[in-house]
Amino acid sequence: MPLALAPILVGIALAPVVKRLTKPVVRGAVKTSVGLALEMKKAAHEVGEEFTDLSAEIAAEMAAKSDRAPVEKKAQVKAGRAAKAAPTG
């Protein structure tokens, strides 16, 4: 028997055993990876929701502030006109 043929025959004989032993390990690694990916996706989604809520809240505050500013300014102007129009004693 040639010298190179022995490792080939040993490899062929051990291949099913190695496959049987490594399949559960590989399956566990893939299962863990998929689980981690799903958890990361869920966490990213939650962060996205928080960011959306925060930006909507800030936009609402800015809109309320910009709506209120002209009203406050008009009230100040009216108060100033009333003070000027009132006779001083």
- In whole angstroms, give the CA distance from residue 55 to residue 61: 10
Q: Please indicate whether residue 58 or residue 3 has the higher confidence score (pLDDT).
A: 58
Residue 51 pLDDT exceeds 90: yes
Give the residue-averaged pLDDT of 69-81.
62
Q: Which residue has the tokens 């960011």?
A: 51
Q: What is the pLDDT of residue 29?
A: 95
- The answer, yes or no, to whether residue 57 has pLDDT greater than 70, is yes
Asked if pLDDT for residue 12 goes beyond 90, the answer is: no
Helices (H), the chain: 5-85
